[in-house]
Amino acid sequence: MARIIDKVRTKRDAMHASNVAGDPTPLVDNATLAIAAIHEGLSSAAGSAWETYMKQFVNNNDPNQLARLLATDGTLNDRNARMRRAYLIGNGVCGTTTDTGLDHYVFTIDENIPGGDGCGPNPNAKTKVRISIQGLDE
């Protein structure tokens, strides 16, 4: 089964290929979804912009993956999961880096999902990053 991070990277690669070919439409569409999700927020109702944005990264409507991205799986206050969801939304509106950095700091989003395949490899493994606002060390 594809993990969330796999879907994120597939989306990133498709947006990049389209952008390189001169069609930024997928980037604009993704940014539009991300901006709407940011404005509605995580606690908005089912069918919200947040859910619409996150569903593009869920494998075959997997309820466990969707629950992770909607924070209905008990990770609402988990600082690691909160950070990964925030990056997944924030990276969607990073302009010129969305098509190359959509997966930036999202690699552990699949951690401990029931029936999941675990985390993706950390592409930044050689970099020590300290995010003091959340007190999160990688």
What domain count does the chain have? 1
User: E-strand spans in the chain?
Assistant: 130-131, 136-137
Average pLDDT taken over every residue of the chain = 83
Residue 118 confidence class, pLDDT cut points 50, 70, 90: low
Residues 24-32 have a mean pLDDT of 93
Indicate the pTM of the whole model.
0.78
Cβ atoms of 83 and 135 within 8 Å: the answer is no
Interval 64-92 mean pLDDT: 93
Please give the residue range of the domain that contains residue 133.
Answer: 4-137
Res 83 pLDDT > 50: yes
Is residue 38's pLDDT more than 80?
A: yes
For residue 117, the model assigns a pLDDT of: 67
Is 23 in a helix, a strand, or coil?
coil
- In degrees and rounded to multiples of 5, residue 81 shows phi and psi of -65, -40
Helix (H, G, I), strand (E, B) or coil at 84: helix
Q: Is the pLDDT of residue 132 over 50?
A: no
Q: Which residue has the higher pLDDT, 9 or 130?
A: 9
